[in-house]
Structure 1
């Protein structure tokens, strides 16, 4: 006897009759655009998508983001009540718009983790103050199309830097990290606009990342836009007050074990390179940076900047170690040896020139 296929009975419930707790669970799977469309069209569950729900949704996004960035970022949530001059309806509408805008820009922003080490530098440059994203930061793009058209790293840094000011030693004043499309430099005229490449550079032909493109400024090419920002912040840090302790070691002894170790580290991947500079000796530079600190929990900032160049007199390597750790710099020294090895670490720390930045570098010891 042939088996008879039995169709399971299916019951369809009107969406309007779904319980609120089930609808709330479903909302978690919607992006912010879908949430706002649902709020506009679903009158039965409109109250579920009010200020309280959007604040909760945004707080979860912010918590995840701040954890990924090492707690160097603060994003206050728009709150009720607004000024009493506004009616309750307009106040609610403005808060909901602010919450939705933040949700949309953070969720569409891309991979934010690339800024962790850079925000740690900014944290110490600002006297241990976190970066705060307020209304100006989320208003830096007037249209969604402009936001989506910009590469991820560019739009992220515009938001992160919009309301963030640091001390600029050359002008002896506090300045924002960006002015328009110009990034802060250490020169007297502090803002220069980088060129963000649409295609790979001949200097970095492999691994071009459209979300964080190769970028150029002042004749120097950086493998990514975020790398350009990092190097420029380091140059500003070198001129910071209060004091930053610095070791500088330079060698042309190409046969030495220290030189060979430094060359190996450089070969692992340059992060910045100059074009050939016209004039003296046609010098070409390559640079690399290595962070020595693991986050703001260390309580100080330390990094290594390595530079290699070739000129008419041969090949040279310079290693700079900068730290805001207090004497005797034990943690910095230990991390330096671990990253660079005992031979190169000893060479840099023991034989390198020692400086402490005041207004300009002054050699000490």
Structure 2
């Protein structure tokens, strides 16, 4: 283990402010060797917080460091210092970027990338759009980056995986801690399909509230562009958007209903100048340099499964008027509720429509 890696592991494991201490070291021309030899008296001069100073003293005996390296070898995890050739250049150049990354899975992942973020408490529509963006990115050969959380994040990962794509989850825990627990299968799918789990936190790190805003900067800095699907005004997704703007990344937002708090932040981004994502196909064409189809409706009809007359009538109503109840559809299509339900079941299985709320249905975004 090199002196640099030893120091960075100690700073990361101390729970203090690794970047702040490292910046102080550089300012004072203190090498990793000098840091290790200087001990607590030097670390105190570098403004290490008292709790971190105590932890550094405990970690300096080397036992924790050896256990961390052994855990990495056992789990097939790469521990990359910022000087490593596989450490993302964008993160290395960022003034607030991590000094160290734990990478579990395939790395590096080549190709254009898009980060997709949003609220955990998303609407069924937001979930559908997020999955559609993930799928479109995968079909274009792009890498989807998100935070592995419930809601919008998980839908984006799933959409990419369902299309055979590669996706990266940037975690607010150690790469060996699956959070939320309900996403364990999702994280395993990411690894099985050639994606990666990333974290700046040591093995065994459990979720802490402040870790998630911290990891947001990594999501923003890694990607070529960022899409906010649904986000309240005060949310982690808006925090990620701020980091993306500061890093000079393109920011897109999906328009939402102005009456819903879950869309207040994403709508505000559009008002402030973010690109409005009004068509997934057009976004994919611009983001991944794909050729737009001249007659998208004809192309969509050619690719879509055969619809009966009744099913086509229902789809036309949903596309024209938006969300509808079964009774609404029955009246507007002059059908019985039983006939509507039968058609909806077939169409939902084909991914053409989806339940957008209790007793309500919408056409799938495309």
TM class by smaller structure: under 0.3
TM, length-normalised to structure 2: 0.27
TM, length-normalised to structure 1: 0.27
Structure in which a larger fraction of residues adopt strand: 1
Structure in which a larger fraction of residues adopt helix: 2
